[in-house]
Amino acid sequence: MKPTDTAATDSPAADTESTDKPIKQRNNPLHGVTLETVVTELVAYYGWGRLAEQIPLKCFSSDPSISSSLKFLRKTPWAREKVESLYGFMLREIRRGK
C-alpha cells in the first residue's frame, strides 16, 4: 500500500503556504478595503470637484453620489483602476504628511 499525499498537507511547509497569503498582501493598500470605503475616503480628502478634476468621470462631476459612483465603477474596470490608483497616491501623500 502506497502512502497517501495527506502527509504533505499535514507538514509544516503546507502551513507556511497558507500563512504566506497575508504576507503577500501586506504592502497592498487595497487589501480588505471595500470600493465604497475607497470612494468615501477620496471624497472626504479631495471633495467631489477636485476628484472630478483628478479623474474626469461624469459620475464624479454631474450630480455625484457615492451610490452612483459605485454602480459605475463596478461595471467599468478601467475607471476602477484609476480610482484605486488615486487612492494609493492619496495614502502615500497622507503618510508623507502633505
Quick check: is 15 in a domain?
no
Q: Which residues contact 87 (CB under 8 A, 6 or more apart)?
A: 29, 30, 33, 38, 41, 42
Quick check: is 29 in a domain?
no
User: By the 8 A CB rule, do 89 and 46 touch?
Assistant: no
Quick check: is 46 in a domain?
yes
Quick check: is 42 in a domain?
yes
What's the pTM? 0.72
Quick check: is 58 in a domain?
yes
* 67-91 tens-digit pLDDT: 999 999 999 999 999 999 999 999 9
Residue 4 confidence (pLDDT) above 90:
no
Domain limits at 61? 35-96
* 52-61 tens-digit pLDDT: 999 999 999 9
* 11-50 tens-digit pLDDT: 454 444 444 455 667 777 777 889 999 999 999 999 999 9
CATH of the domain at 77: 1.10.720.30
Q: Which residues contact 10 (CB under 8 A, 6 or more apart)?
A: none
Domains held by the chain: number: 1
